[in-house]
Structure 1
């Protein structure tokens, strides 16, 4: 791996020195917790569909000192997988993109998160409207609507390092289940944002080739054009108005080890790129369309991938293509929507606090599906569901008279733990269709801006008809398994630490 790249598992020795970025506080709960720390720490017993096991699953008991940020990159313990690359927070000490003074504030990060959520909701609403109109016009005139310009999504905050080209060049790219086309910035570039690494140079790769306009890969893009020399041009516009345009291309992608390669991998070679990509070299898409990495890798590695996001920005998780699902994974059905086939949906049907079911009418979750998204930070619930969760959580927290703290952006239920040695936090679990109940790690319950400002890490949608979104905070430490072949999504406790 090139100097500055993400360290491989088993060789994580990098240490960050200097000013600690505020983002390192984000639920920094790799937690040197007390021995009574409770929650989703291991698989449930045989015959259950629950990820928790504990002598008392109702509470987490955590040392307040463990909420302080870690400046050292620490290895995570994870099960062996077939083809694995490390996943790290792009602003944490494990990231090759980490730089002094370059991280956003908590308010900025959460505001960007809201922009991503808004863009996902707009995309779903526009697609649903277009589907209805398309069907009506087709029935009346036998015609269909043209594809919309661009793809309205946002960008994520976790990155992976992969090799591209022959010889392979290490590239650090944003990891995103909410989009499909993978891309990097290429030279020559007429208008590129600043990135930390040199641009990818197609002329230096013996296996690079441009995709012609007539190729099926080009024809399958939602937004494309044809250059004068018949090369396929792509365009992707994200929800925060970040954008990439360039040539659609093929080259060899290397994952994990030099033997784990995908020859002829289709990706975007961007030459006009602007936006908030945090000095990353580009993006790797893991959506459901044919052009995504997961779809292109399915023939070689199998139609299954999984990942684990570490509990803290100072930890290391993984992305695995293929391989068996963790033995403790519990599955729920993957929901498909014709209007937005790229997204992964599940049906969230309930919430538990302190392992007691929160009273929420089933009609509240009647919106078809909850998007599971690696790029959204905070889980969004229907307003009535969030209100019930907040009330139950605050009632449990009230037993210990914790001082209230000011809100942080979209997070309105916050506590000041100043003066406490340990704190008791009620457990939170999500209930999915089919009875699968997933207890969240402590790092998935609170968003910790600082010890004096720890907030319930959920937020309400603006409207009860908006689709819910399962964000990456709630996914921390879980092995999240996308079994595309069998159309189901699973969650395994203790996927990484």
Structure 2
């Protein structure tokens, strides 16, 4: 549930999200193909939206992410068990957040669809998958019906105190296994409901579907302080986070040991998410660094040791001792204040050689983003630097499109200072990342391995 604040910040762009066509790579692996939200090929194409509006949304989402992670009571850990195969789901892309379309329930022999599809926000920092259910009071607005769980033939309630209930007894909802979630600062958005067993259905690459029964699903009955517009299309959250000893994210529930994704920046190319065998990464370009536990149990952490700007090391050893998370719920990367200050100096020194000085508060035009470090954009300038995150055993070289936001009169560095260090989505673009839990040395405290390699997003589609 880690990125719900960013969901609240970006919800006005939900109508610009795009449907995604499912395809399989490897034996029964989840493969999600997305259309860029700003592409005219998207059925949710919002029309023209300015670069400033896009950047503002990224900034707001990043700030909201920090509010959530560092000022919130996290949901209780939860757990469960299931023996199922890989799945395939369609997805769409909203801003810098991904939404999977998943069918829920079983409704034969009624005419029409045998399942009801909902869009879920995908989050690698959240362990609980939940949807708003029929009978909720209060509810957030949803364009379609809330999930009619009692009419589903595959709905299986879990009594309060049942040994299969993955949450503590104090979280029971009425007489059933329950969950309680709180997000952000007061007035805090919150969700309360029942955890049920239900069937989730995903399209296959053979124009059919694959269904997986008795998965844990949160059924939300009380949704407070969610600032969603009436045209909201998001029904809930798809949790892919790691979590604590009682957690059970979707990849774990379907019996898989890895998932991966790659994110493209072009509005005319596809991004994908895999769960299962299709998430394997091999080849000479594939690099690997250990996945670690950190202060936030649902997030994935790596050992960041230093940062370079255009191959010049900044000497930041020891600056990231509190941990570095890699997070799809954070739009723009954040660095702890001392590291950010040194990186800022590094970028200023780089541009100084081209006689380009940063805007100060007095000289910055009104149509320049509110990011901290922005420079004037000289006509014809194209000498942008790379930025390298030096992880333990592997270097992630971020190319200029993943560092800078460029407009007619500005070059802005897409980084922020924050209470923690997090590698956000903007800096993950044009790479494929795989979270593999069969790898890693448990004796050293490793919980898996993060593998990555440059990804060619292909030709426009």
TM-score, scaled relative to structure 2:
0.73
C-alpha separation between the residues in 1 aligned to 2:190 and 2:423?
25
Alignment equivalent of 2:180, drawn from 221, 235, 248: 235
Q: Please give the per-residue CA displacement for 1:250-290, whole angstroms capped at 9, x wherever unaligned.
A: 21112342444321111111122242565411110111143
Runs of 5+ consecutive residues of structure 2 not aligned to the other structure: 1-10, 79-94, 107-113, 440-447
Query: Which of 286, 296, 300 in structure 2 is aligned with 1:344?
Result: 300
Q: Does 1:247 align with 2:198?
A: no
CA-based RMSD of the aligned residues comes to 3.7
Counterpart position of 2:153: 206
Map 1:303-318; keep pairs closer than 5 Å. Answer: 303-312=257-266, 315-318=269-272
Structure 1 SS opposite 2:234? coil
Deviations 1:305-340 (A, max 9, x none): 011122146643111001122533311111124x54
Change (3 A) 1:422 1:232: same
Query: Which residue is 1:296 aligned to?
Result: 253
- 2:453 is aligned to 492
**Structure-1 separation of matches of 2:236 and 2:33:** 16
Aligned to 1:437, the other structure's residue is in SS state strand
SS, match of residue 372 in structure 2? coil
Aligned residues: 389
Gaps of 5+ in 1: 1-20, 25-70, 128-146
SS of the aligned residue for 2:67 comes to helix
Alignment-derived partner of residue 266 in structure 1: 216
1:358 paired with 2:345, answer no
CA–CA distance in structure 2, aligned partners of residues 102 and 215 of structure 1: 51
Is 1:430 paired with 2:375?
no
- For residues 130-179 of structure 1, what are the alpha-carbon distances to aligned partners after superposition, in whole Å with 9 as ceiling and x for unaligned? xxxxxxxxxxxxxxxxx9799xxxx9832222222222322111111111
Tell me, yes or no, if structure 1 residue 386 matches structure 2 residue 340: yes
- Partners of 2:299 and 2:20 in 1: how far apart? 31
TM-score, structure 1 normalization: 0.68
- For 2:443, the equivalent position in structure 1 comes to none
Equivalent residue of 1:386, what SS?
helix
Of structures 1 and 2, the one with the larger relative CO (CA 8 A, separation 6+) is 1
Is the 1:75–1:315 Cα contact (8 Å) retained in structure 2?
no
CA distance in 2, matches of 1:279, 1:23: 10
Contact 1:305 1:321 in 2 (8 A): yes
Structure 1: distance between partners of 2:162 and 2:411 = 52
| Superposition pairs of residues 395-414 of structure 1, within 5 angstroms | 395-402=349-356, 404=358, 406=364, 408-409=369-370, 411-414=371-374
User: How far apart, CA to CA, are the structure 2 residues paired with 1:182 and 1:79?
Assistant: 22
Contact kept, 8 Å, 1:430 with 1:438, in 2: the verdict is yes
Q: Distance in 2 between matches of 1:216 and 1:284?
A: 24
Report deviation, 1:108. Answer: 5.2
